Structure 1
Amino acid sequence: MSGPKVLPALVLALCAACGGGSTSPDAGPGGPDAPPVACPDPASAFSWPVPTGPIDVPAHDSWKGEVSTTDPFFSSSSFSGDEPTWIKFSVLLRDPTRVYFQDSSALRFHYEFASAHLPPLAGMTPAQFDAVSLHAAGQEVVLGAVLVPPAASGVRELGVQLVGLDAYHPQFVKTIFDLVVSKVLAPAGTRALYLPVTEQARCAAEAQAWFEANGVPLGTADRWGDGNACYAPGWAVGRLVRSTAATIDAEYLAGAITADDIVLLADAAPAEVPPIAGLLTLAASTPNSHTAILAQAYGMPFSYLRLPEVAARADALVGRTVVIGTRTEWFDSRACEVTLIDVTDVPSADLAAIRALKRVPVLAYPAKVARGAIAVDVDDVGRSDARTVGGKAANYGLLRDVIPAAAPEAVALTFDLWDAFLDQVVPGGGTLRAAIGARLAPHRWPPDMLALDADLDALRAQIRTGATFSPAQAQAIAAALAGFDPSRRLRFRSSTNVEDGDTFVGAGLYDSFTGCLADDLDDDAVGPSACDPTEPDEQGALRAIQRTYASFYRRNAVLERLRRGVDEAEVGMAVLVTYSYPDATEAANGVATFTRHGEVGFAWDTVVMVTQVGATSVANPADGSTPEVVELGLGTSSQTATLRAGSSLLPLGANVLTWDQDYFAFAALFDQVADAWGVGTFTLDFEYKLLTSGQLIVKQVRAVPPPDTTVDVTPYLAHAPTRLCVYQGESSDVFAIHHAKSRWELDSKNTWLTPAAQAQSLLAGLDATVHDGAGARVQQAGAPDSFAGFTHGVAGEVLTDTLRIGTAPGRFVLSADITPRVARNERPVQTLGEQWLSLGVTWDTPRWVLDWNGLPAQRREDQVPLTSRCPDDPLDITGLPHVERTVTVGPITVQTAYYWPKPPRGPIAGYTAPLVRWDETTITGLTASPITLRGYWSQSYRPAHHNFGAEYIFEPGLEDGLPPAVLAELVAADVRALYVREDLDATMLIIGLDGTLRAVP
């Protein structure tokens, strides 16, 4: 198994249950909202649940009893090749000696296969099949899947999943696990893991110690993820603090965490986080969660640190002041780069100036105004009416105008009603408005959190229960809602004038509630609810409105208004009223981001749909489930749909919606809304539902404010020791790479990259090691001006430091191609190692090389790029392509082995791989005994384009620990190095002690 690792999101999708969800033949009753039950104790007595004996299953080309990890029966969710493959299997409990691996490319669901080819299950209906496969009582067959990392990943693992809605006894799991693994033919050294599906995960975690002790290591398919995950790009500066999803809120209240801190969570992000500078997690979160949407709006970096080395660096920086940056590549939104820079030692004045670049701007919003009515039909409002009905209701008016069949009728309760409610006289005298003002008046940014929280608790309680609508107001509300069926539940959705605008989203800051108008219209206050008999108490509409009003004073909402300078007298809560859709009527729900690319000559829209089955929340799932992610491309002449991740509540191979009709049907609705929204480039956020009746519902649209990309920020260079080596890639020839082979330890200054700073060296000190071309290394350290011949130069955006190093026979020029300005949304703090750095050398005497015609020639100048990834740095080689080459010319054979980096994705896929690490090189026939080289100095590599061949120079005299006798033998034979080229016609030349090249005898 060698090649690129899987996409992070898709890997999560493949860790999917094969039960639940009505969109596939494997469907069965779901379990995410079921109350937890006691987990089986692994130490408890266990016996096989049914009698056993041989079962005759006729051979058929749809199944095999054993498979290899490359068997064509394995299936995948896409054709990209960078995703896991999987094969489904069945084990009949009455014959637990055999495994039936089905052709999962042709038969994607267990039911399709088992009901046709396993005699004990033949002819069963889906319901009957569920009854004997998903629950412990009456179970006759256990279903599962084997997952294998992408074939090119190099990760020698496989995962086993077992389907079931009831927790399996650990000893039962071990029995099936061992049986299945024994039937899979995998490369030597392949490690098998148990990957519990959603319904099994909690109990498997409780028994993890037992599993590990009994040879069943646990894992998740997320371990095969390729890199970190960026939920929100951006940058931040602050103290890095450690917390958890369960404790962050209490720590914020206590002042242990502040709005200026960057938080490292040991787990996934909670449904909501208080205002902080940045968020890093050590467990995957949900795309398009409210936390992610708000982070995008704030420009707050939010990333999951999947890579162990990045997580370890973050952990080591806890307690330090850091700058973090998260960004995705333009060509691949799944490629996430996370940068952490320690700025604890940056001068306080500079640090204050860096913080000022991240200061939250004052919020622009339309001040509320009276409409002259407490309610209005949403058909009569548009986006410009946010000042009277709030952003959510105003945007819904656009949905009603453009896609009325998908956006059912609605009413907006205006700010007139809000203001009238606040003007009521409360017990003790004075108005509710005055009481609110008195509670909020003492609080400024940053507030005393405990005092603010206490005041807000009191305010919300007063609005919910201490205040009330007057009889006249209640009558007016009933009249405004008369167009709705009073016996159906209504949803009262928050719609403020400080959210869902062009500059701020506010997702998740406010709450919405469900109410029943009939409960307000009857003659009593006694339940059950007239709209839902299962509710023991009345759930009146007035009660729901007051609860929605109270959410205007939720802590995070008020904090955001405080820090953004919002005038409380200008803002308020309107309400969007629609029918509520009971959970049982939802087939699916989701959130989508729609980007209209308005560039001239580029007619293309992209849509990312994050969808989950039923009513299980996409934004903030309570059960730990992961949603499906589908990316659509919409052009004038073509459309594409790509599955990025599958729902963990569905079987492998199943989709939440009908593929691909439903996805494009929703996209067509989004496209119509975008046409009416405006022109140019913009991004919209949609919430949608698919009802069990088949109706498509678009319940919300809002703009995702674009970042400020004005390029006018002078970057700051932060002091950071930088270790550099010569880059062994396609950029220069192998002679330059070998002649200029060097190592540099650079100590940069803390400085703004102003023209004045650029006029001086950016280095506070350096430690350079080069080799002299005669088999010896030369090293010198000190301040730049302590080196002989030191000069500094500026040529446009390129800064140069020229110097001589000890006795080395040449003049060395370090060049840094800097970025003099960055955009306002880009990380302004940089390190020297992030600049494009190169090394030029002018030799005192010419050196022998091969020219472009392959003929010996002499030159005095070499130019090579430098890289911070040195071949002898510690490196996790798991999954890296291992290259082995053998070249023989005459009596000499060179066997070399080394590593390339993981292949990239996107338009740069198919690039030319550089060397990242040497394994070793063995040279036989040159000396009496073989020579083995492992070091950086003695081996040089330069790839041909697209790696169609390579050139090497091997100089044994530069290898540490070379036996003196071998060195003497080489000197006696006038051999300094070997030049090797491997392509269609192998070439090998001997480089003599004087640098001349000659043929191998």
Structure 2
Amino acid sequence: MKYLLTLSLILLAACGSENRNVSQGSDLSAVRTRLAAGTSDLSSPLMTSKDLFESFSKESGGLVQNGRSVKFLIDFRAGEAASTINFINSNFSGRCKIAQGKDCSQYHFDFAREKFNIRNDIDAFNSQTYFTQAKSFGAGTLSRYTIEGKGEIYAVQLYPQDAAKEENILSIVKIVKKALSISSAKIVFVPTGNQQSVAEVKEQLAALSVDVLTLDDILGASSFIPMHPGEAWGYLRLFPKDQEELNPTDIVIFDELPLDLTVVAGVITKSFQDTNSHINLKSKERNTPNMILRDAGLENANLAPWIDKPVHFTVTKSGWAIEATTDEVIVNKAKNRLNKPWIGIKWSATKDLLSYDEMCANRASKCLTLGSLYGSKAANLGFLKEVFKDKNVPDAKVLSYDPVPNGFGVPLQFYQDLLNLPANAAVKAKLDSFIVQEKSGLLSAKDRSALALEIREMILNAEVPAENLTKILGMMKKVDPSIVKWKIRSSANAEDIENFDGAGLHDSYSSKTETKDNAEHSCKLVLDDEVEPGELSKFKVKPKTVSCAIKGVYASMWNKRAIDERSFARIDHATVAMGLSVLPSYDTESPVAANSVVVTRVINSPDILGYSLSIQKNNNTVTNPSPGTWSELTIAAVGGTNEKATLSTLRYAKPLPNEDVMKTSVLDNETTLYMYSLTRKVELAYCRAKPGYYRQNCDDVFFDNEKPKALDLEMKYLQNGEFVIKQVREFSGR
């Protein structure tokens, strides 16, 4: 396990010998002469050329990925006038003298020990470097980016939790600028924490010809943003009109973000992607390349010649490439990816309906074993119910309400009962035949899509066993007889499981207990015309009965995207079953003020400790954003065990296609930090309840950037000031 308690912004791997300090007031001519001849030192007091920057730098692992970065450390112990700066050589392979057996260029603390022989422990170093204005050391990075309208820039950045502001930042920028003599270098300061204000020193920075840019400025002006590095072999497809016709060997260029992402070999989008969107999370789960390219299209000379051709596509943190390949290579690569046995999912039968309140029987760990009976989504809601019986929240006020909705789980067996009902024999026969064809690997995308649609329509017109429907309606009355509007959500045994989260594969439907089925018990899906501006257009069942909502969810087990995903993961379709998570509509008590997704690691930034929070205004969706919209991306950065989280907003939300990007965060800082605290409570409880989630001390799970798994939570924030936690699942992507 590796802790980033040194609070180094960029992970840079090297160590080496020590070189002498040079004061900012010293004659630097001798140093410049020596550097011009080249150096292999652990550090340098000057950054004199692009070549030197290139030799010292590594690809960024911070909040912005598409650049190269060099760490620096400023020694303020003798005062600003006598301060010294060292740019740290991340690519030196020499031997560390003091930090023996460690990489003394990887973290600022280890470098300080090696360079200055400091005797402070890590907590004292952090306090004197990051969490004070009276700094003994100033630690940060110099990052090089290329952005539209400004060309190549060199950005001075501090760690997101650094308390530096105003004069403190001005001092650091002055020192870096004086030591940077790269010809025509454009220097900017980029705050990475919301507390790093420079309003009072903007004029002084401007006098130094130093602009202040936000992280949003950098991301918004970058034509290329790597979302998930990797390589793929396939056929480059431009702006497909019908995802149902895409194949796993297609590398797809999307003009607008698709609402769902079927299995493809790689993704390029013109539109901005949220790091917590299903597109990015799916790419990470599948380990397929994904990037944003704002000028993607026929006008791009690097893409146009390859449209519909067999290509080898590569994405790295610093760039992308496309080159020719052959049909034979693509076929062989696809075969290699699928050359593994089908995996059966074991599940158990029960006819019991369990409310989330009673599911755990006072043991949170018990709920996490019930996925084999009810599916993980329902079982995990039972777990959350148990966790929040204790209303204490770390570093936050005690809860006065329950953030987990009431409701109950319907077992997987009820799905099987529908298929086994004699009246539904034709459905089961059709499904069994389809599974054989799908596992043969011979179905085309078009045939698969047509057969899947036929199966879904047959399930929508099937009979729900009367005894099971009566039990479900009875349980609704038991949980809360006053509620009429109920949400029926999927809880399949093939979602929210280890190494396969199944996000976005299945559908949920609303129902009303007062609505009656038609005489034929038939159901159909129609476009919902009741959505608010900015909300995702979706389908609803008609009539809006409980039985139609149940069948709608069961039918979604056979969405083409779900079939494709299971086949890609080699999950045996003959062993899948659908449980149900039943709960009241989320806006029963109050209208929705914001939607959010929280992942308990900083996605795409392996060197930042904290959580990723994607937040969207009102009931607009985060995971599948409507075209022309995106959610806010904020990082809750953490340091040591005694340090509180700080917020860094990378991107402000755009709630509606025809409105401007917001100028402020969706929620205030206090509310956003409370969301972080709720998530932290959940992760600690999950770590303690789930064997194998984290094999170290669970008290350290928040501070380990190398933990093998993370959690993915979906929440709503209501206008009455209460949070509703919709679900929690494991996430293995990075």
TM-score if structure 1 supplies the norm length? 0.43
Matches within 5 A, 1:784-933: none
Structural mapping, 1:687-836, within 5 Å = 687-706=714-733
Note if 1:409 corresponds to 2:398.
no
The reply on whether 1:612 has 2:616 as its aligned counterpart is yes
2:224 equivalent among 228, 234, 237: 228
- Structure 2: runs of 5+ lacking an equivalent: 1-61, 67-142, 148-164, 166-184, 190-205, 208-215, 361-366, 390-401, 522-527, 531-539, 688-693, 696-706
Does residue 627 of the first structure (1) align with residue 627 of the second (2)? no
Q: Could you report, residue by residue, the CA deviation over 1:228-264 in whole angstroms, capped at 9, with x for unpaired residues?
A: 22333332122223234xx1425x2xxxx43112122
Of 656, 662, 667, the residue aligned with 2:666 is: 656
**2-side partners of 1:653 and 1:564: how far apart?**
41
Letter in 2 for 1:668: S
Structure 2 counterpart of 1:318: 307
Which residue does the alignment assign to 2:284?
A: 296
Q: 1:625 to 1:241 in 2, by over 3 A?
A: closer
Rounded Cα–Cα distance in structure 1 between residues aligned with 2:437 and 2:716: 43
Aligned-partner Cα distance in 1 for 2:314–2:145: 26
Tell me if structure 2 keeps the 8 A contact 1:228–1:306. yes
Instruction: Show structure 1 runs of 5+ residues with no match.
Output: 1-5, 11-79, 85-104, 106-149, 155-185, 188-219, 328-335, 526-531, 708-1001
Task: Tell me, in whole angstroms, the C-alpha distance in 2 between the residues paired with 1:499 and 1:399.
Answer: 17
Structure-2 change in CA distance of 1:422 and 1:536 (3 Å) = closer
Greater relative CO, 1 or 2 (CA 8 Å, sep 6+): 2
Residue equivalent to 1:249: 243
Please report how far the alpha carbon of residue 433 of structure 1 lies from its aligned counterpart in structure 2 after TM superposition: 2.4
Residue of structure 2 in register with 1:397 after alignment: 382
**CA–CA distance in structure 1, aligned partners of residues 260 and 448 of structure 2:** 18
Rg: which structure is higher? 1
Q: Does structure 1 conserve the Cα–Cα contact (< 8 Å) formed by 2:343 and 2:570?
A: no
Is the alpha carbon distance of 1:271 and 1:377 closer, same or farther for their aligned partners in structure 2, counting shifts above 3 Å?
Answer: same
Query: Is 1:647 matched up with 2:653?
Result: yes
Amino acid at match of 1:677: Y
Checking the alignment, whether the CA contact within 8 Å between 1:486 and 1:518 is kept in structure 2 is no
Rounded to whole Å, the distance in 2 between the matches of 1:338 and 1:533 is: 43
Cα deviation digits, residues 128-147 of structure 1 (max 9, x gap): xxxxxxxxxxxxxxxxxxxx
What secondary structure, in the 3-state scheme, does the structure 1 residue paired with 2:253 have? strand
Give, as a single letter, the amino acid of the residue that structure 2 aligns with 1:577.
V
SS across alignment from 1:441: helix
CA distance in 2, matches of 1:621, 1:9: 23
**Number of positions where the alignment pairs a residue of Structure 1 with one of Structure 2:** 479
Verify: 1:473 aligned to 2:473, yes or no.
Answer: no
Structure 1 counterpart SS, 2:677: helix
1:568 is the counterpart of 2:577: no
Specify the alignment match of 1:133 in structure 2.
none
- Secondary structure in 2 matching 1:401: helix
Q: In the alignment, residue 367 of structure 1 is paired with which amino acid?
A: K
Partner of 1:450: 446
Does the 8 Å contact 1:268/1:285 carry over to 2?
Answer: no
Task: Give 1:81 shift.
Answer: 13
Is 1:369–2:358 an aligned residue pair?
Answer: no
State the identity %: 21
Matched residues in 1 for 2:602 and 2:248: separation?
A: 33
Residue 258 (structure 1) aligned to one of 247, 254, 260? 247
Q: 1 CA distance for matches of 2:413 and 2:253? A: 44
What is aligned with 2:21? none
Partner Cα separation in structure 2 for residue 512 and residue 536 of structure 1: 10
- Counterpart amino acid of residue 502 in structure 2: G
User: Following TM superposition, by how much is the alpha carbon of 1:677 offset from its aligned partner in structure 2, in angstroms?
Assistant: 2.2
**Superposition deviation, residue 612 in structure 1:** 0.7
Residue 371 of structure 1, CA deviation: 2.1
* Deviations, residues 782-810 of structure 1 (Å, cap 9, x unaligned): xxxxxxxxxxxxxxxxxxxxxxxxxxxxx
Residues 311 and 379 (structure 1), Cα distance of their counterparts in 2 relative to 1, 3 Å cut: farther
CA distance in 1, matches of 2:636, 2:296: 31
CA RMSD of aligned residues (A): 4.4
CA distance in 2, matches of 1:153, 1:316: 37
Query: Match for 2:408: what amino acid?
Result: V
Quick one: structure 1 residues 476 and 7, their matched pair in 2 at CA, closer, same or farther if it must change by over 3 Å?
Answer: closer
Q: Write 1 or 2 for the structure with the bigger share of strand.
A: 1
| SS of alignment partner, residue 595 of structure 1 | coil
TM-score (structure 2 length as normaliser): 0.58
2-structure distance, mates of 1:312, 1:243 = 16
The Cα shift of 1:223 comes to 9.1
CA 533–435 in structure 1, closer or farther in 2 if over 3 Å, else same: closer
- Whether 1:494 and 2:499 are equivalent positions in the alignment is no
Which of 321, 337, 345 lines up with 2:318 in the alignment? 337
Q: What residue in structure 2 maps to residue 586 of structure 1?
A: 592
Deviations 1:269-301 (A, max 9, x none): 211232211111233233322222222111121
1:387 aligns with 2:372: yes
Among candidates 676, 695, 698, match of residue 667 of structure 1: 676
Letter in 1 for 2:559: R
SS at match of 2:375: helix
Which residue pairs with 2:506 in the alignment? 510
SS state of the match for residue 556, structure 1?
Answer: helix
How far residue 556 of structure 1 moved from its aligned partner, in angstroms, is: 1.3
In the alignment, which of 711, 715, 718 is matched to residue 684 of structure 1?
711
The 8 Å contact of residues 374 and 417 in structure 1, kept in 2 or not, is answered as no
Measure the CA separation in 2 of the matches of 1:231 and 1:433.
41
Taking structure 1 as reference, are residues 664 and 260 closer, same or farther at Cα in structure 2, changes over 3 Å only? Answer: same
Contact kept, 8 Å, 1:360 with 1:564, in 2: the verdict is no
Question: Which structure is higher in helix share?
Answer: 2
* Structure 1 letter corresponding to 2:320: T
The change in CA–CA distance for 1:415 and 1:153 in structure 2 (over 3 A counts) is same
The alpha-carbon distance between structure 1 residues 576 and 360, as it changes in their structure 2 partners (threshold 3 A), is farther
CA contact (8 A) 2:311 2:326 kept: no
